[in-house]
Structure 1
Amino acid sequence: MNVKITPGKLTGTLQAPLSKSHAHRFLIAQKLARLQGNGNESASDVPSFSQDIEATKNCLVQLDKKKPFLDCWESGSTLRFMLPVAMALKKEAVFLGTGQLPYRPISPLKEEMELHGCSFTMKNSPPKAGNRHMEICTVRGRLTSGSYRLAGNISSQFITGLLMALPLLDGDSKLELTTALESAGYVDLTLDVLRDFGIKVNIETSPQGFYIYEIPGNQQYIEPARTTIQCDWSNAAFWLACGALGGDITLTGLELSSSQRDKQIVHILEEMGAHITIGDISIRCHGASLLPAEVDVSQIPDLVPVLAAIMSLADGTSMISNAERLRLKESDRLRTVFDFLSRLGADITDGGSGLSITGQPSLSGGTVYGHNDHRIVMAAAVASCGCNAPVIIRGADAVAKSYPEFFDDFTALGGNVQEV
């Protein structure tokens, strides 16, 4: 799908979208509770509000089978969470994916699992065009308890997967980080869900200051009486940014107490000069002349595309640093952010581990590519609010990965979107 956006300011009130980060974790914990006979069958179902969540739900159904085939579609979270979870329960499982997922790294999680009872047969097939479902690997052997070591600066998803799987094992386990933890908010969110389901994880720190997680074995997941999925700060950031770029947006349903680190968007926008009003159940952002900012994104990597879009329209030079891991997302997000903003006329430099952006009063508009990356598409739509001419986004249907209703909501807030 290709769309044409005629520039304009967005105004109005919107219920913030649900958090797929929270929903992934809740759904896995809920399934484990039910497999252990501790479910709450009367609890309301979590809706399938994105492709990634549908992928996780489909994989969880497969856990009822002796040899599951877990099709993770293009969800990195689903694959990296389900690898250790499935092998804590099964002797053999096959993992599949689409798009770039078969080529995204699963090391060093793979090597740690191999040290604890699992063997991997990788399918090193050449890339195929389109959305073909390809086998990623077959894993054999039950995961065993023991001492695990992972770097904390590669992927918090590896850590989450093990934290959810290790309580199921017969013996006690320890997960020791060998570096400082990046994207710590996502691990905090995992620990919140585990606590909600009655799972105990003891946390200590090494002499170097790195986290050590001690996980007793033979634990029981117990489903809580109430199903509550948090709203999503990552996707909410796109709407708050539209408010900052001359609009006036109010979002409801967001929790400032959430472990989601992307709530820092509120502080960043305030520092850049946007007007923020926080109510009991709402957050309002409306526009002003924006100032430049320097943002270390090691804990908030998902905000980079939208931050870059805002910075391209701020008065001065902004810096995004510690963003190396973005090169291993659905796209090389530093390259693709540079690509779409350059095509819109922004003054942006890819510095290898970050971006330098000198803002302008407006951007020129033009044609950009979504690169099969939902956050790139949504960031390009945000940037259109500051363009002098229409923005055409090719491959705009990538938003279905996390937010299928994005353009419906964009239109409801006064945006002019046409499919072309």
Structure 2
Amino acid sequence: MQLVVRGTTTHLEGELDIPVSKYHAHRALVLASLAPGRSVITGVSTTRQVEWTVGTLRALGTKITVVGNTYVVEGGPYKATDVVDHGSKGAEGLLNMGSSGTTLYFMVGLASLADQPMTLTGMKYFRRRPIKALLDSLKQMGVQLDADEDRPPVHVQPVRPRGGEVSIAGTLSQWISGLLLVAPFAENDTVIHVTGGTLNEQPYVDLTIRMMRLWGLTVEHDDDWLTFRIPGNQTATPHDYVIPADIGSAAFGIAAAAIHPSNVLFRGLSTFKTSETDHPESEFLDLASEMGVPFSLDEETGYVRIVNPGGRLKAIDIDCQPIPDLLPILATMATFAEGTSSFRNVGHIRLKESDRVSAMLQLNNLGGTADQTQDELHVTGAAGPLTGAPLSSFNDHRVLMSLAIAATRAAGPTTLTYPRAYRISYPTFLEAMTSIGLDLDMGDPKNLESAENVDFERDDLTEDAAMQQALSSCRASTPIRWC
């Protein structure tokens, strides 16, 4: 099966319910698990990423009960139980990260606080993810661990970290957040030095620190965000918390409404201004406004509405260093803008679930114009109509959803591999997009004329072969330097 997207020529109409932020959900659940006592977290996330975090914490002895739209979390010391949840098996010392990088990066250090050895693993392709920088820094902090070729599975011993001086590259914010979350429980104070003179994705680290403080933990940082100081021997305190709407999920509906004539209401989203939103991806709202998305506040509901008569968006020049996860959907929007959009500082975005920079070059297969250097992506608005084509999602939820939205403006069908990848972060994506008039469904590409010569079904090709076939197709049609 693949995701089949057919071009949409009708007016988009309806309402989208925006899910809660997975970024806040991960952090709130982890912090609540560390705080002896009860925390009530309002806003339940159904993303697979967060479900893997919940399963991991339950296996470590944290009692998490879903009551209506809340998590009731009974935190305290990590004591392995016989709970089996989403592949995590506490009694066997097995913690399943699935394909959630956030869960891995947050929990690999915290696993040292358990009462028995723990092994952190995940899906097959996930175990190819190199995390040497994080593992080396955790070792500097005194975490006792080992991993073959510095990749999952990671084996962690139940030895409390000692703290001390720690250095790490500022490549990924989740690495920094993983160190920050375990540092308060070290025997001594910890000082984290970010090397290389740059911290990528700073808004995500800021979110981690602000939420740690809500649970009573002390973290200080220098003005340049390159040095962090965390006292040791701290105790977290319970806190009740309300999770805000997820801008990252809303972005796909916003993009769809921006490139089609539309009248769409976004329930749960009460502002279209970055300054009024507590979310690490809130800059998307200002960027979308700059590109010409016609936002307004619905007088009756108080939620954001887009009424778009049609027309081209405006090209944009963006520094992607603080907002890496927005690159795929912004690249899609740029395909329907006047002029060339430039996305700078994209090197670290190659280290996500896939090389998202290269993956979005598949816009060329649809008839768009995109090219890359090592640290930049350039997308020129399509001069003519797009045409459906076989594409690969690389099992990356952001790539899948972004290319799917682009394909709704193409004539004829487009097929995308790993069609259920969206469930990792936006489980209702398919239902949501079809509810406003887009034509997407699960289908067999063998029945589609445009896919006669290319079949990426997992039964016929390995994961690597499917990805390589998509890359080869894009290389052949795109005169660019591949990095």
The 8 Å contact of residues 393 and 417 in structure 2, kept in 1 or not, is answered as: yes
Cα distance in 2, alignment partners of residues 44 and 113 from structure 1? 29
Q: How many residue pairs end up in the alignment? A: 401
Q: How far does residue 71 in structure 1 lie from its aligned partner after superposition?
A: 0.9
Determine if the alignment matches structure 1 residue 282 to structure 2 residue 338: no
Q: Matches of residues 74-89 of structure 1 in structure 2 within 5 Å?
A: 74-89=99-114
1:28-52 CA-partner distances (Å, limit 9, x unpaired): 011111xxx3224xx3676351111
- Identity rate, percent: 30
Checking the alignment, whether the CA contact within 8 Å between 1:80 and 1:158 is kept in structure 2 is yes
2:15 corresponding residue in structure 1: 13
Unpaired runs of at least 5, structure 1: 126-133
User: Counterpart of 1:263?
Assistant: 282
Partner residue of 2:323?
300
The residue that corresponds to 1:386 in the other structure is 409
**Given the superposition, is the C-alpha separation of residues 210 and 19 from structure 1 closer, same or farther in structure 2, using an over 3 Å criterion?**
closer
Distance 1:53-1:260 versus aligned 2 partners, 3 A rule: same
Residue 128 of structure 1 aligns with which residue?
Answer: none
Verify the 8 A CA contact 2:207 2:280 in the aligned structure 1: no
User: Which of 105-114 and 60-69 deviates more?
Assistant: 60-69
Q: Which of the numbers 377, 392, 395 marks the counterpart of 1:355?
A: 377
Instruction: Give distance in 2, aligned partners of 1:116 and 1:192.
Output: 22
Task: Name the CA distance, whole Å, in 1 between partners of 2:216 and 2:32.
Answer: 11
Q: Deviations over 1:166-196 (max 9, x none)?
A: 1122322222223222111111111221122
Q: Is 2:198 the counterpart of 1:201?
A: no
Q: Normalization by structure 2: what TM-score?
A: 0.78
Matched with 1:136 is 153
Q: Deviations over 1:304-357 (max 9, x none)?
A: 111111111112111111111121111111111112x12211111122222111
Give CA deviations for 1:40-78 in whole Å, capped at 9, x if unaligned.
4xx367635111111111111222345732110111111
Do the aligned residues in 2 keep the contact of 1:11 with 1:249 (CA within 8 Å)? Answer: yes
Partner of 2:438: 415
- 1:181 is aligned to 2:199: yes
Give the whole-Å Cα distance in 1 for the aligned partners of 2:385 and 2:295.
22
Alpha-carbon distance between aligned partners in 2 of 1:358 and 1:86, rounded to the nearest angstrom? 46
How has the CA–CA distance of structure 1 residues 277 and 99 changed in structure 2, closer, same or farther, with 3 Å as cutoff?
farther
Kept after mapping to 2: 8 A contact 1:319/1:357 = yes
CA contact 1:4–1:419 (8 Å) conserved in 2: yes
Residue 146 in structure 1 maps to residue 161 in structure 2: no
Which amino acid in the other structure matches residue 359 of structure 1?
G
Q: Equivalents in 2 of 1:236, 1:45: separation in Å?
A: 19
- If asked which structure has higher relative contact order (CA below 8 Å, sep 6+), I would say 1
Aligned partner of 1:39 in structure 2 is 38
Alpha-carbon spacing, 1:46–1:32, altered in 2? closer, same or farther (3 Å): farther
Q: How far apart are the structure 1 equivalents of 2:112 and 2:277?
A: 30
Extract unaligned runs of 5+ from structure 2. 62-78, 81-91, 444-483
1:113-172: per-residue Cα shift (whole Å, max 9, x none)? Answer: 2223233322349xxxxxxxx9512123432121222222x1111111121111122322
Structure 2 residue 236 is matched with structure 1 residue 215: no
Q: Contact 2:419–2:442 at 8 Å: present in 1 too?
A: no
How far, CA to CA, are the matches of 2:137 and 2:21 in structure 1?
Answer: 29
How far residue 407 of structure 1 moved from its aligned partner, in angstroms, is 0.3
Shift of 1:79: 0.5
> 2: CA distance between counterparts of 1:51 and 1:210?
31
Q: Shift of residue 281 of structure 1?
A: 4.1
Gap change, CA 1:149 and 1:90, over 3 Å in 2: farther
Residue 250 (structure 2) pairs with residue 250 (structure 1): no
Preserved contact between residue 91 and residue 142 of structure 1 (Cα < 8 Å): no
CA contact (8 A) 2:340 2:379 kept: yes
